[in-house]
Structure 1
């Protein structure tokens, strides 16, 4: 049986992804979680804190899964593409309304700036490590672009983030896949 905190976070995530940040309130989350508003307010002082915790939990889950990508894929570029697409999986699979998506993106940019920056740093370092390993095994030639593995990793992650937050789902998947193909062709 999940803890009260976990139940609240799951319900909040569901509400935010279905209705958006602006339309969601503690009363709605209380109904979804079947937990009193008082309990929610005691654990999370307000909606902003709760939203931030939902974002942080997603980041932690994603970061915990990073090593599995290396184990699952042997090719640097396939690993990179799978990781980037998995990063945006909630956007692709759980948020079907573009207005809701933009509302969530705006809320994340307002309430989770430092958490997003830290998460992007972790992802950039992971991609940098992938590129370093790829260079060591002859799958990547960074001398062709004049960037360090961390610089290129950061560029790839930031480009993907921009695509995820501005393009439609189909466009985003195709664009990120094509971006990885371009880098693969240029740096192999």
Structure 2
């Protein structure tokens, strides 16, 4: 495995405490090396010593921030899922948008976040190591609430304003994400081929959930499309 190129300002830093910029560059260097090692070698075969060597940093640089390999792995996973969360947050900034369009966009973004190459590889790794290292699986499960927070916020507001009928937004967010991710399908087969297939996937999911989440018409009103 080749050694990542260190930023010049890190190479030139004087002895003593690094500047904030140098510290950030060092952290990025060893976190990138950690991700690469975990994905290529697996969790068990990866060591902090090897990560430090590959990143060109001292072991103490990593140990000052992470007490052990598990803590380092949790940060690697957290960084990966943060991207998925940020993408979902971008969907929900339009509070006045049509609920169906928001859900379509949301499902597509959840799907893309879960099937992004590195994220999917990390999820596969956690599942593969879950029996030997159950704490890894627990840490990934804990990230679920963090990732879905924007979805929960949107569904909570949609329930409050009457756009959707979702009495339990947290449960509804988990159910929607499970449908969007496709369960085990994309762990064992190739992701969808392109935008058209992704949109068809999202259309099917949103059509399904809206049957249950569309508010019932008020008493005395005729349901849209219902009998005269």
Q: Which residue of 1 aligns with 2:90?
A: 68
Given candidates 60, 70, 87, the residue that maps to 2:113 is 87
Instruction: Give the TM-score normalised by the residue count of structure 2.
Output: 0.58
Instruction: Give the TM-score normalised by the residue count of structure 1.
Output: 0.67
Instruction: Say whether residues 1:151 and 2:159 are aligned partners.
Output: no
Provide the aligned length of Structure 1 versus Structure 2.
Answer: 179
Q: CA deviation at 1:21?
A: 1.8
Given candidates 122, 125, 141, the residue that maps to 2:146 is 122
Q: CA deviation at 1:58?
A: 2.8
Q: RMSD of the alignment, in Å?
A: 3.9
**1:22-171 counterparts in 2 under 5 A?**
22-71=44-93, 74=97, 75-89=101-115, 92-94=116-118, 102-107=124-129, 110-131=134-155, 142=165, 148-159=168-179, 160=181, 162-163=183-184, 166-170=187-191
Q: Distance in 2 between matches of 1:117 and 1:101?
A: 11
Instruction: Say whether residues 1:18 and 2:40 are aligned partners.
Output: yes
- Write out per-residue CA displacement over residues 24-53 of structure 1, whole angstroms, 9 at most, x where no aligned residue: 222331232111234333432332221112
Structure showing the higher helix proportion among its residues = 1
Structure 1 unaligned regions, length at least 5 = none
Query: Aligned in 2, Cα 1:45/1:121: closer, same or farther, shift over 3 Å?
Result: closer
The higher-RCO structure (CA 8 Å, 6+ apart) is: 1
Larger Rg: 2
